[in-house]
Amino acid sequence: MFRIKVPRYWRHKDFRYRLNAWKCNHCGETHFFQPLICRKCRSRDFSRVTLPESGKLLAYTVVRSPPEGFEAQSPYIIGFIELDDGTRILGQLTDCYPEELKQGMKVEATLRKIREDQEDKIIAYCYKFRPAI
Amino acid sequence: MVRINSAVIVGYGGYVPRYRIKSEEIARIWGRDKSELPVEEKAVAGLDEDTVTMAVEAAKIAIKRAGIPPSKIGAVHVGTESKPYAVKPSGTIVAEAIGAVPSVTAADFEFACKAGTEALQFITSLVDAGRIEYGLAIGADTAQGRPGDALEFTAACGAAAFIIGRDKNEGVAEIEAWTSYVTDTPDFWRREYERYPHHTARFTGDPAYFHHIVNSVKNLLENDGYTLNDIDYAVFHQPNVRFPLVAAKLLGIDLEKTKPGLITGYIGNTYAASSLLGLVKVLDQAKPGQRILLASFGSGAGSDSYIIRVLEGIEVKRSLAPTLDKFIERKTYIDYAIYARHRKKILM
Ligand SMILES: [Zn+2]
C-alpha cells in the first residue's frame, strides 16, 4: 500500500506549490529544496527565489508502468522543461496528449493533484506543466 | 437599504477544465430521449483536478488581472459543495498555493450552488469595513450527479475567482449593492458520507429556484432604488439553459440581457461557480458604465443578488489574462467510459 510521508510533503510545499526555491548567493546554483550546503560550491549562504512559471518543453516521455502511488493517473507524461530563467526542471505534463507535444513548445506551471495516500487519504498537490494557454 | 461604500472587483478569473461529455452520450448510456436535454455538453475535470486545483487556476488568473502582490490578500474564502477534504479547509491550500499565507483568513463556505456568491458577500463586507485591503472570493465545484439521475446531465466542474479591493481607480467593476433571500426549502441535500445528493423533483423549479431568485432580485431593486432600465446584463444561476431564461421572463428582463452570460449549455452546471462564471463571461465583454445584475441560487435554499457597475479599468485589465472563452473553446470530448474514470465512478 502506497503511503505519503506527510512531514516531508509539508516541508516541500513552498517548492511544490509555488516553485519557491533557494539560490546560492556565492555561485548562483538553484536548489529546489532547502539545502544545508551548496552542492556546487559548498557555500552555506542562500536566498529565496521564485522560479518563473513559464518555460519551454525540452523533452518528454510517456510513463505507462508507473511507480507505486502513481497508478491512478497512468499513463502520464513526464517533461523536461527549461524555465524562462534557464532553470531546468522535471515535471508531469497535464491537460495534453502525447501527440500534441512538440519540442520547444511553451508550457506553464499549474497546481494539480499528483497522488493520494491510499490509507490516510492525504492528497499531495504539486506543480505540473501544461501547454501555455 | 445599506449601501456598500467601497468594494470593487480589482481582478477576476474563470476556469473550466479541458474535458467535455455531450448530453447525448449520457443519454445513450441510460436509454434516454435525446430530444429534450437540459444542456448540450458539460465540463469534466481532469484526473488530477479537484475543487482546490480549479480554485487555484481561477485565482491565479484573477491575480494576474489585479496586478497586486498576493501577500496583500487578507482573506481567501472558497465556496463549494465538493471540498476535497471533509475536514481540512480548501482555503488554506489555495492561500498557500497563491502565496497569500500566513496573514489571512481562509474558511470554506457551503450553501450548495450559492456558496460562491456567499463568499463574495463576506469578502465584500470585510473590504468595505476596512478590515482587509484585498480579499479573494472563489466559487468552485466538481459536482457529482448519481449515474442515471437527471442531475448527471448537468453536474459539471469549474471555478471563478474575484479579488475585491477598495480603490475604484484600480477596479474593473464596483459592487454597488447586494441582498439575500433565504428560507428552509428541502429541494436538494446530501448527508455526510453520502456520495450523491438527493432532490425533491417537484420542489426544484417554482418553490426553490424561481421563488428565491425572483424575490431576491425584487428586494434588491426595490430596497436600493434600481429599475430594470438600469440593468444592461442579467446573470442568473444556471442549472440548465431554460431556468435562467424563465427567471428573466418572470422578472420582466429582456432575454437579450440574459443570453450574453448564459454559458451552461456548453459547460453544464458548475454549481458554486455557475452564476459567477456567468459574471466572468459578462465582464469579458461589458463596457464601462454598464450595470450587471447577478443572482445566484443555492438549494436549501436561497439567492444572493448583486448590482455591479463596470468601471473604466475593465478595458486594460481584461486583456491581462485569458478570457473565459479560451477555456470554453479548449475542449476535448470524452465518452462515458473515460468520464466514469475521471469522475471516480470506477473504483480501483
Ligand atoms: Zn553555490
In a domain, B263, yes or no: yes
Residues B285, B227 share a domain: yes
Helix (H) or strand (E) holding B251: helix B242-251
Residues B138, B116 share a domain: yes
Residue found by looking up cell 450553501 in the block: B111
Per the structure, the complete domain to which residue B249 belongs is given by: 175-315
Mean pLDDT of chain B: 96
What's the gap in Å between A47 CA and the centre of ligand 1? 11
Cβ contact (<8 Å) for B49 and A112? yes
Q: How much of chain B, in percent, has pLDDT values that exceed 70? A: 99
Nearest-by-CA chain B residue for A96: B18
Gap from B90 CA to chain A (nearest CA, Å): 12
Residues B246, B155 share a domain: no
Structure confidence at residue B2 as a pLDDT band (50, 70, 90): low
- CA–CA dist B238, B242 (Å, integer): 8
User: For residue B310, what is the domain's CATH number?
Assistant: 3.40.47.10
In 3D space, the residue among B109, B111, B49, B43 whose CA is nearest the CA of residue B76 turns out to be: B109
Structure confidence at residue B348 as a pLDDT band (50, 70, 90): low
Residues B255, B119 share a domain: no
pLDDT tens-digit map of A27-70: 999 999 999 999 999 999 999 999 999 999 999 999 999 999 89
Nearest-by-CA chain B residue for A116: B48
Among residues B116, B146, B172, the one where a domain terminates is: B172
pLDDT confidence of residue B107: 94
How many other CB atoms are there within 10 angstroms of residue B325's CB atom?
A: 15
HSE, side-chain direction, 13 A CA sphere, residue B299 = 19
Residues B193, B305 share a domain: yes
In a domain, B158, yes or no: yes
Average pLDDT over residues B162-185: 96
Residues B295, B199 share a domain: yes
- Is B333 in CB contact (< 8 Å) with chain A? no
pLDDT confidence of residue B122: 97
Gap from A107 CA to chain B (nearest CA, Å): 15
pLDDT confidence of residue B1: 56
Which residues face A125 on adjacent strands? A113
Pick from B17, B46, B84: which is nearest to A123 by CB?
B84
C-alpha cell at B104: 489571512
| In the predicted structure, residue B258 carries a pLDDT above the cut 90 | yes
For residues B158 and B139, is the Cβ–Cβ distance under 8 A?
A: no
What is the ipTM for the molecules in this complex? 0.96
pLDDT confidence of residue B221: 96
Structure confidence at residue B36 as a pLDDT band (50, 70, 90): confident
What's the gap in Å between A30 CA and the centre of ligand 1? 8
pLDDT confidence of residue B3: 78
Query: If 0-12 CB within 10 Å is exposed, 13-18 middle and 19+ buried, where does residue B194 land?
Result: exposed
Cβ contact (<8 Å) for A113 and B53? yes
Structure confidence at residue B283 as a pLDDT band (50, 70, 90): very high
Report how many domains make up chain B: 2
Residues B75, B101 share a domain: yes
Burial per residue of B88-108, b for 16 or more beta-carbon CB atoms within 10 angstroms, e otherwise:
ebbbbbbbbbbbbbeebbbeb
Residue that wins the pLDDT comparison between A65 and B34: A65
Residues B122, B102 share a domain: yes
In 3D space, the residue among A126, A99, A102, A108 whose CA is nearest the CA of residue B332 turns out to be: A99
Domains of chain A: 6-18+52-131 (2.40.50)
Residues B168, B237 share a domain: no
